[in-house]
Amino acid sequence: MHVLILGATSAIAAEAAQIYAARAARLHLVGRDAGKLARVAARCTGAAVTTQQADFAQLEHNDAVVSAAIEALGRVDVALIAHGALGDQLASERQFEAAEAIVRVNFTSVVSLLIPLGNHLEAARSGSIGVITSVAGERGRPRNYTYGAAKGALNIYLQGLRTRLYASGVSVTTLKLGPVDTPMTKDHKKHALFGKPAKVAQGIVRAIDAGAPEAYVPSFWRVVMPVVKGTPERLFQRLPFLSGR
């Protein structure tokens, strides 16, 4: 199995890399920080691992990033796109530059990777793509609606891509994660609904293995989110645990 992980230095992606390494997969890890990439690679014992440094926010380079990754691997059986950033919600409400940066990292950069990756797998007529999104994309909330809007747009994009690639035998899995206890959420007050990176990574790999169209990770979010999405606006705005900062 040849596995490409884009955004491989995130806590969740690093755990997923180790799961694939335990299967003796051939891994190619792409991320922004060379030192972190080396540390993730070192943890992937039992696998052949190569790494590639890239900043996905530099959109004009992403076509070449994917081409180089495919060349390094030879073929792609599984691709996991795992990068993202919450950004500063308050700043995004006051400065377009801050809002655009959140959208670029969480939506536009992912699309710029999916276009060449999807074209390659479509031509090969095989392969699986998993993309990490968020339950934040299911409904706009004051605490993170710029981030949520980017993830919501990504969910719609993946629906279309999944149907387009279906005839070619390529699966596309939308991975809707709840909050996870990682460095990205280090400033957030933790509660019982926060997932742990290792368990979340296991859920991600299971969903990709199964070729699931969409998967909530952890799975209990599949029950929670219809309630959140279905709450009438007037009631939603009066419930601080939903509408608060």
Order of all β-strands in the sheet with 26-31: 48-53, 26-31, 2-6, 78-81, 128-134, 171-177, 214-217
Q: How confident is the model at residue 237 (pLDDT cuts 50, 70, 90)?
A: confident
DSSP secondary structure code for residue 195 in this structure: B
pLDDT of residue 51: 96
Instruction: Give the domain ranges of the chain.
Output: 2-243
Among candidate residues 13, 23, 29, 30, the one with its CA nearest the CA of residue 46: 23
Checking DSSP bridges between strand 128-134 and strand 26-31, what pairing results, if any? unpaired
Pull the structure tokens for residue 111.
Answer: 């699309």
Q: What is the pTM of this model?
A: 0.91
Q: Is the pLDDT of residue 229 over 90?
A: no
Residue 4 bridge partners (DSSP): 28, 79
Which amino acid makes up residue 216?
Y
Among candidate residues 56, 153, 166, the one with its CA nearest the CA of residue 112: 56
Q: Can you tell me the distance from the alpha carbon of 227 to that of 51, in angstroms, rounded to the nearest whole number?
A: 42
DSSP secondary structure code for residue 180 in this structure: B
CB 187 within 8 A of CB 205: no
Domain 2-243 indexed as CATH 3.40.50.720: yes
Pull the structure tokens for residue 223.
Answer: 């029950």
Q: What is the pLDDT of residues 38-86, one digit of tens each?
A: 999 999 988 999 999 999 999 999 999 999 999 999 999 999 999 999 9
pLDDT of residue 233: 83
